[in-house]
Amino acid sequence: MLDLSQKKFLLGNILALLSTVIWAGNFIAAKILAGEYSGLEMSYWRWLLASVFTFPFAAKHFKNDWPSLKKEWKLMLFYGILGCFISNFLFYNAPHTAPAVDMTILMTTSPLIMMFLAWALFHNKINMVWILGSALALIGVCVLVTKGNLDTFRNFSFTVGHFWTLGCSLFFALYSVSMRLFKEKIHLCVFLESTFIIAFITAFLVCLVFSQKLPVMHDYNHLGAFFYIGVCASFLAFICWNKAIELIGAVRSGIIYYLVPVFGSFFAVVIIHEQISFIQILGGTLVLGGVIICTLYKNRN
Sequence ranges of the domains in the chain: 4-299
* Of residues 174, 78, 134, 117, the one with CA closest to residue 290: 134
Three-state DSSP class for residue 224: helix
Distance (Å) of CA 178 to CA 38, 162, 171, 181, 301:
29, 24, 10, 5, 22
95-106 pLDDT tens trace: 767 766 667 777
DSSP secondary structure code for residue 91 in this structure: H
- Note the pLDDT of residue 301: 41
Angle between helices 250-257 and 160-177 (to 10 degrees): 140
Q: Which of 94-98, 141-145, 199-203, 281-285 has the lowest mean pLDDT?
A: 94-98
28-73 pLDDT tens trace: 787 778 778 888 889 999 999 999 999 999 999 999 999 999 999 9
**What is the value of pTM for the model shown?**
0.86
